[in-house]
Amino acid sequence: MRTDPQHVAPANPKNRRRATRAVLAVTVTGTVAASGIYIATANAGETGTAIPGALQAEAFSAQSGAQTESTGDTGGGTNVGWLAGGDWLRYDGVQVGATVAARIASDNTAGGTIELRTGTPTGALLATIPVAKTGGWQKWVTVTATAKPASGKQNVVAVMKSNATSDFVNINWFKLLPDNTKNPTKDPSVTPTKAPTKAPTTAPTAAPTKTATIPAGGWVDVDQALWKEQLADFEKLKPAPIKNNPVKVPEFHVNCTIAKESPDDAIVFPNLPGASHMHTFFGPDVIGASTTTKDLLAAKSTSCQTKGDNSAYWMPQLTQNGKPVPLNGFRIYYGSRLKDPSTTKILPPGLVMIAGDAKRQEPTPKNSGINQFWCAGAAETGRSADGNWPKCAPGGRLIISITFPDCWDGKHVDSPDHKSHVGPTGPDGTCASGKFPVAIPSISELFTYESQGGEGFKLASGLPSSAHMDMMNGWDPAVLGPLVRTCLNQGVKCGTTPTFD
């Protein structure tokens, strides 16, 4: 049965996105000359009534910025929506031909284009599909264009380009129109579009790449046999006796120096070198776009000082007037915010996760509580002109911390948004009473910069509210186990080892 569409036009298109954001997008001053692409062999899953020869938009292998929803279009099923400038959809192993039709809807007068590129969001341009207002987010039309053919199967990325500061297009499907076999203007399922009378006066520029990609499938199961084995070994451990009257806070920490800086993200953009914004990395020197947790465990060295922690940690690079801001220090605190930290287990093998939201672009005035940068070591004396960055008194340093959840679902080591397999406590304040029954260490990553703040600051992902941190588990469970059992389970503060000397 077809479900009614949830996506309806609000009074103001700028308020359409579920989480308001400002999008840095390309300048589009007119509808660009139509070109196109034919996608012939994608492994597309059909939903609703199948459209002959169509590649469903939701059959992407990876994406950035997209969400799916029930569609009101002919055939029912779902469409991809909430697409703004810089968002993209990737389809793997497809054949490129000479023509394409795209089924789209829009209620944003700004319009824009859908660029089809090879391999990555900045790959070779194959086609540009014009997008104009159709009269509603579920008012569907089919637009057509011609393409620059390419030989062989390849990955094709549909990149959204618009000067709108909000979403500008929905996509239901791409129509497959093989070379010399069908005239799109005579296909009854296609509404042809007129070629523009003139080219734009301003050439489009590349929109920034963003995070939050959803791989095909999205959910990655934990190796249950290995997890049960590691958990059994952990349960056998006896905590070291408490002595020297330590602080009664469940905590230990890891200190790291920078391993590298590069525009890679093995969680969000796996196997796509250079597809992300610039990140600052901590951990083994094997970190790159294709790194896996197995690679981390096999690494011979790491920039983190706790032997046994080969985990990788990263955050968007911070710059001032375009230059990287040096770090004074980076520390990862492992702790517990639960009422009873004795239930905390070790991290599951293969776990990856992200805290924060790279697409959140909101002002952060003082005490806003949204990924707030603050001053450490001295008082805040003022704010930057835009209100987002503190100014610290002499001796102060710019600092930020983001914390991961305490609870895990016990089944998956990754999820479509890299967050949904971990989460908060249940109704009674424990992990056991909610959707995430396994208590794990709560990780807080603390960045301290050699700066007193002020003007000209920017994260590679945008405003301070976009601050986010990634973690890929590379712990040796034989090292992590005693730290959790002695320090966290007993509710006491340790340093970098499970001792109290």
What pLDDT score was predicted for residue 153?
Answer: 77
User: What is the phi/psi pair of residue 378, to 5°?
Assistant: -165, 165
Answer with the residue of higher pLDDT: 268 or 42.
268
Answer with the residue of higher pLDDT: 20 or 90.
90
Answer with the residue of higher pLDDT: 262 or 12.
262
Distance CA 218, CA 416 (A): 4
User: What is the phi/psi pair of residue 199, to 5°?
Assistant: -80, 160
For residue 465, the 8-state DSSP code is G
Q: Inform me whether the pLDDT recorded for 197 exceeds 60.
A: no
What pLDDT score was predicted for residue 178?
Answer: 53
Q: Inform me whether the pLDDT recorded for 36 exceeds 50.
A: no
Contact between residue 489 and residue 246 where contact means Cβ atoms under 8 Å apart? no
H/E stretch holding 225: helix 224-236
User: What token pair was written down for 310?
Assistant: 């080969």
Q: Is residue 14 classed as helix, strand or coil in its secondary structure?
A: helix
Distance CA 249, CA 254 (A): 16
Compute CA distances 6 → 16, 74, 242, whole Å.
12, 15, 56
Q: Inform me whether the pLDDT recorded for 38 exceeds 60.
A: no
What pLDDT score was predicted for residue 359?
Answer: 84
Q: Inform me whether the pLDDT recorded for 30 exceeds 50.
A: no
Kindly report the average pLDDT of the chain as a whole number: 81
209 torsion bin: left (phi>0), alpha (psi -120 to 50), beta (else): beta
497 by Cβ neighbours in 10 Å (0-12 / 13-18 / 19+) ranks as middle
Compute CA distances 95 → 40, 43, 99, 154, 219, whole Å.
5, 11, 12, 6, 27
What pLDDT score was predicted for residue 18?
Answer: 35
Q: Inform me whether the pLDDT recorded for 161 exceeds 80.
A: yes
Range with the poorest average pLDDT among 16-20, 227-231, 366-370, 432-436: 16-20
User: What token pair was written down for 70?
Assistant: 């029930």
What pLDDT score was predicted for residue 204?
Answer: 34
Distance CA 157, CA 208 (A): 14
- Strands (DSSP E) along 258-388, which ranges? 260-262, 279-282, 312-316, 318-320, 323-324, 327-335, 352-356, 374-376, 380-383
Confidence of residue 394 (pLDDT cuts 50, 70, 90): very high
What's the average model confidence in pLDDT over 223-239? 97
Distance CA 371, CA 383 (A): 15
Answer with the residue of higher pLDDT: 383 or 22.
383
Measuring CA to CA, which residue among 498, 493, 477 is closest to residue 346?
A: 477
Contact between residue 305 and residue 495 where contact means Cβ atoms under 8 Å apart? no
How would DSSP label each residue in 189-252?
T----PPPSS--SS---PPPP------SS--EE--HHHHHHHHHHHHH--PPPP-S---SS-EE
Could you report how far apart the first and last alpha carbons of the chain are, in Å?
Answer: 66
pLDDT tens figures, 52-97: 667 888 888 778 877 778 888 887 888 898 898 888 888 887 777 7
What's the average model confidence in pLDDT over 394-405? 94
Q: Is residue 484 classed as helix, strand or coil in its secondary structure?
A: helix
Distance CA 149, CA 160 (A): 20
Q: Residue 457 pairs with which residues in a beta bridge?
A: 320
Is this structure's pTM higher than 0.95? Answer: no
Measuring CA to CA, which residue among 238, 209, 219, 221 is closest to residue 90?
A: 209
Most confident segment among 66-80, 115-129, 263-277, 334-348: 334-348
Confidence of residue 51 (pLDDT cuts 50, 70, 90): low
User: What token pair was written down for 109?
Assistant: 């007068």
Residue at 480: amino acid letter: L
Contact between residue 477 and residue 230 where contact means Cβ atoms under 8 Å apart? yes
Contact between residue 161 and residue 112 where contact means Cβ atoms under 8 Å apart? yes
User: What token pair was written down for 312?
Assistant: 């990788």
What's the average model confidence in pLDDT over 453-482? 95
CA atoms within 13 A on the CB side of 369: 0
Q: Inform me whether the pLDDT recorded for 256 exceeds 80.
A: yes
Calculate what percentage of the chain has a pLDDT beyond 70: 81
Measuring CA to CA, which residue among 381, 375, 377, 382 is closest to residue 398?
A: 375
Helices (H), 238-397: 293-298
Range with the poorest average pLDDT among 48-52, 83-87, 347-351, 414-418: 48-52
Distance CA 206, CA 395 (A): 40
pLDDT tens figures, 275-330: 899 999 999 989 999 999 999 999 999 999 999 999 999 999 999 999 999 999 99
Contact between residue 335 and residue 249 where contact means Cβ atoms under 8 Å apart? yes
pLDDT tens figures, 428-449: 989 999 999 999 999 999 999 9
How would DSSP label each residue in 416-444?
TTSSTTEE---TTSSSTTSS--EE-PEEE
Distance CA 362, CA 89 (A): 25
User: What token pair was written down for 333?
Assistant: 């605190």
What pLDDT score was predicted for residue 144?
Answer: 84
Confidence of residue 12 (pLDDT cuts 50, 70, 90): very low
What pLDDT score was predicted for residue 28?
Answer: 26
Distance CA 397, CA 61 (A): 42
